[in-house]
Amino acid sequence: MNAQDASAARATNGADPTRMHAVSAETTDLVDLVLDYSRRRMLARDTPLDKPVSEFELDRLAGRAIGEAGIGAARALALFEHVLAPACITTDHPQYLSFIPTAPTKAATAFDLVVSASAVYGGSWLEGAGAVYAENEVLAWLAGEFGLPATAGGVFVQGGTLGNLSALVAAREHARFVLRTAGTDAPGRWKVVCSAEAHSSIASASRVMDVDVVPVAPGDDGMLRGDAVRAALEEHGASVFAVVATAGSTNFGIVDDVDSIAALKEEFDFWLHVDGAYGLAAMLSPLARDRFAGVEHADSVIVDPHKWLFAPFDACALIYRDPETGRRAHTQHAEYLDTLTETSEWSPSDYAAHLTRRARGLPLWFSLATYGGGAYRAAITSSIRLAQDIAREIESRDGLRLVRDPQLSVVVFEREGWSREDYGAWSARLLDDQRAFVTPSSHAGRPNTRFAIVNPTTTFDQLAGILDTM
């Protein structure tokens, strides 16, 4: 043994290099432990909300688990189950009502384990044809629900922020392509038109792309309409490469007047992107479908299955009307990738700002295949009905005021006379009592709070009980 080999042996303490990957009694026990925990968690009927604790407290309770020797699977899992997991709020709890919750189906959650266990790579057809085929089936089904043509297609990405960024990158590349083809110079600064109440990810994407945002004031009801967009297009001209319409805002669940915005495409040349991260799923419900007229004219849309389509984190469906525009913008070129990029096969890595990707659309595929689209329509419809019912209850109570009638499943309301500090203290009590997770919010400088309802197991009595504590 030479000196280098001797040094390496000392550094690894003679550890078996195959131990972590071998099928052995140790790994069999480890897998059994993890599957048993997963089964208990997925089938639990009384999972607590839990709540965050301070870093000091976690230092005291958890200490350090990582060292040269390891602490073993049993101790590591126990540490997670009894110390770390209780310091994370349970986002699929029926009384998690803040931000936009998640509520994955049992089938989707269970199949998420299968995706990891199968070592599926979802970046290319060459490596994951079966997974890509299944994901594309979901994307085609969603495109059909949204009224897009049968030739539409796209990819599942991490979340709405990356979906919006990737769509806008494709939109700008398309605008550049059109100008190059026509022999026309590009504008000094590219611009994106959107509602002043659009999601923060639009501003974030614009910073990354180094383009300008033109915020347009929506109506008093929060809806952006074509006449307001027209004024922005007339003012900024050919520098506008995209208009973003929101199909279900995060704060209020407001759907812009997409139809009147889409009608402007007959007069102006722009890419219409619909940010439906939260709300576009409501097109599946007969109670809300009419609100989304015009989506069928979009050049790209996004919807997050990990929100109202009952998939686990993290999944956003990005769909292009003409997928070639996405491919032209995002395909990466390198010698080692030539075997992928020189074919016509559908490689998901070509359609967004990513390369390596897990097949994050498969849990939704399995759930849809298991339960059928009708079950999804029923679950989404139940959330919309519950939002309408609790809005009427709020209006009927003295001291409470509904800020806006809910369009979808977000209900925003005020307690008369309360400051932001009052909302904050109330919110903390609810979580301390493990009653609910309802955080303060605001609109136009006034503090308020909101129920974001996506979990079909949330009940009217639970929400009314929360109102009773105000």
Helix (H) or strand (E) holding 452: strand 446-452
Question: How far, in Å, CA of 26 to CA of 414, rounded?
Answer: 56
- Write the CATH number of the domain with boundaries 110-371: 3.40.640.10
Question: How far, in Å, CA of 391 to CA of 407, rounded?
Answer: 11
Residues 252-295 pLDDT 10s: 999 999 999 999 999 999 999 999 999 999 999 999 999 999 99
Residues 34-45 pLDDT 10s: 999 999 999 999
Whether 367 and 109 have beta carbons less than 8 Å apart is answered as no
- For residue 284, give the DSSP letter: G
Local confidence pLDDT in tens for the 470 residues of the chain: 565 655 555 556 678 999 999 999 999 999 999 999 999 999 999 999 999 999 999 999 999 999 999 999 999 999 999 999 999 999 999 999 999 999 999 999 999 999 999 999 999 999 999 999 999 999 999 999 999 999 999 999 999 999 999 999 999 999 999 999 999 999 999 999 999 999 999 999 999 999 999 999 999 999 999 999 999 999 999 999 999 999 999 999 999 999 999 999 999 999 999 999 999 999 999 999 999 999 999 999 999 999 999 999 999 999 999 999 999 999 997 655 666 667 779 999 999 999 999 999 999 999 999 999 999 999 999 999 999 999 999 999 999 999 999 999 999 999 999 999 999 999 999 999 999 999 999 999 999 999 999 999 999 999 999 999 99
Whether 301 and 295 have beta carbons less than 8 Å apart is answered as yes
Q: Which residues contact 389 (CB under 8 A, 6 or more apart)?
A: 460
Q: Within 52-199, where are the H helices?
A: 55-62, 73-79, 106-117, 125-145, 160-182
Q: Which residues contact 221 (CB under 8 A, 6 or more apart)?
A: 254, 404
Question: How far, in Å, CA of 346 to CA of 323, rounded?
Answer: 10
- 373-468: CATH topology: Aspartate Aminotransferase, domain 1 (3.90.1150)
Question: How far, in Å, CA of 206 to CA of 457, rounded?
Answer: 38
| 110-371 and 373-468: identical CATH topology | no
User: String of b and e for 37-67 (b: at least 16 CB within 10 Å)?
Assistant: eeeeeeeeeeeebbeeeeeeeeeeeeeeeee
The domain ranges of the chain are 22-88, 110-371, 373-468
Would you report the helix, strand and coil content of the chain in percent, each value rounded to 5? Answer: 50, 15, 40
